[in-house]
Amino acid sequence: MIKKHHVIFDKHLSEILKGGGVTFIFHILNLITVYLLAIFISKSYGADAYGRFSIIKSMIVIFTVITTLGLNTLAIKLGSDVKHFFNRKFKSDFVYKSYTLILIWSSLICAIFSFFKDEIAVLFFEDSQLLVYFSFFPILLIASTFLNYNSNLFKGLGKILPFAILSAFLGNIILLSYVIIDFKSAEEANLILFLTLGTCLSLLISILLLFPIKLEKRIRKLQLRSLLSSSTPMMFSSSMIFIIFSIDVLMLGYFRTSEEVGVYRIISQISSLNVIFLIVFGTIVGPKISNLNSKGDQQELKKVIRSSTKLIFFATAPIFLTILIFSKKILSFFGPEYALEQHVLILLATAQFLYAVSGFVDLTLNMTGRQKVYTRITTSSAIANILLNIILVPLYGLEGAALSTAASVLLTNFISLIYIKRKLNLVLVYNPFSFVKDGIKNF
């Protein structure tokens, strides 16, 4: 007879599944939107235009991490901490202080970028057509920075629906609508225009939903220095992670052509399907880890992590196998030249799968006060990634970029897993063979 509680499901799995449902739906819709954008832009504007578009998107990802100063990740932690937010009211002024810091820093970064935009486009990427994109870049970066902070704050406060819609979906659907409607004219400058408009609209809605925020009568006033001391390590670790996942696109843009960037970007996006559940359930698990850690409930913390890693493994394995088996057919859909890079897709997909089933190493370290350790780990991996890209991309192109990314991703998680096991006595990787063993015991 089977026991009352099935092997796979328990209380935490049910909560994660329930909480991640809305996020999952909008994340899937966003992925569909992203792939449709890739198809329409590539076919209407050409692979080189999609390459330039991909370069801008990668730059926004990396620069946003820098301009948020790690305060976006800290917003998740503080927003889910009862010492800072409880009963729908903020008990400290961390949001206002964070906004002040972000505004000053992002404005400075944008001013510096505007001054050197010609040199970056012509000398670094050797593509003068990027100048049109760079003209909108400062506005896009500031809007993306504050939208990223607001989205993470929604996540920390448990407001999953606003996070799911505003973080990326709304902006992408606005851009896709333009691309479909204006398919025949193919004015490339309008790509960055509508990307900026979509981001600004999402930011405006997020601000209207957040402000004015409700404060307790006796509010804790935080020092700017204390916020930065907590957020800066998170910024460095996050920036290193995004460098690991985005520097390959920029290196291809520097050493090779925009057309190759476009092909590689599509392959990268297909392989990233392996991390969809890691991202989706991370919106639920991150605040849970922070909350349980602040309460000192290590037993429940271990249960949450164990349940989530189990769920991610069983959800991700079918996606990985599908990509492996049908890799050539999937790429052929985008064009015959894409199918020639089947081995690149297999390599990236394997690395992404191993990254996903390694569990929430970043959340576990950041949300338990070990962000400095994770910063050192990711910095080492990012440096290795940059060096590998410099060596391999000029020689092997797409293969070199994929190999560099795969090696650095696996290095990051391997070191993190060892540290977490030794210091926290947590095993983040789920063993699928234990499922069979436990199933037999329950009969």
How far from the centroid of its chain's Cα atoms is residue 239's Cα?
Answer: 11
Q: Is residue 6 part of a domain?
A: no
Per-residue pLDDT of the chain (443 residues), as tens digits, is 444 444 334 555 555 555 556 666 777 788 788 888 888 887 788 778 888 898 898 889 889 988 998 888 888 888 877 777 777 788 787 888 889 999 999 999 999 999 999 988 888 888 888 999 999 999 999 999 999 999 988 888 878 788 878 888 899 999 998 888 876 666 888 889 999 999 999 999 999 998 887 777 777 787 888 888 888 777 776 677 777 777 888 888 888 887 888 888 888 888 988 888 887 777 677 667 767 766 766 777 777 777 778 888 888 999 999 999 999 888 887 777 778 888 999 999 999 998 888 867 877 787 677 777 888 888 888 889 999 999 999 998 899 999 999 999 888 888 988 888 888 777 777 777 655 444 444 43
- Amino acid 17: pLDDT: 54
Does residue 173 lie in a domain region?
A: yes
**Where in the sequence is the domain holding 123, given as residue range(s)?**
15-441
Provide the token pair at 167: 């973080």
Distance CA 172, CA 3 (A): 46
Cα 173 from Cα 377, distance rounded (Å)? 36
Q: Identify the bridge partners of residue 90 per DSSP, sorted by sequence position.
A: 85, 215
The angle at the Cα of 431, spanning 438 to 403, to the nearest 5 degrees, equals 160
Residue at 204 is within a domain: yes
- Residue 91: phi, psi to the nearest 5? -100, -5
How many domains does the chain fold into?
A: 1
Query: In whole angstroms, what is the distance from residue 21 CA to residue 23 CA?
Result: 5
Domain presence at residue 5: no
C-alpha 359, offset from chain centre: 15
Tell me the two tokens of residue 273: 């399907």
Answer whether 313's CB lies under 8 Å from 275's CB.
no
Evaluate whether residue 2 is within a structural domain. Answer: no
Residues 6+ apart with CB under 8 A from 145: 64, 67, 68, 102, 106
> 180 in a domain, yes or no?
yes
| DSSP helix, strand, coil percent of the chain (3-state; round to 5) | 80, 5, 15
pTM over cut 0.75 = no
Tell me the CA end-to-end span of the chain in Å, nearest whole number: 5
Identify the DSSP state of 122: I
Q: Give the torsion sign (CA, 354, 406, 412, 244).
A: negative
Instruction: For residue 441, give both structure tokens.
Output: 């015991």
- 5 phi and psi, to 5 degrees? -100, 120
Residue 392 lies in a domain: yes
295 domain-assigned: yes
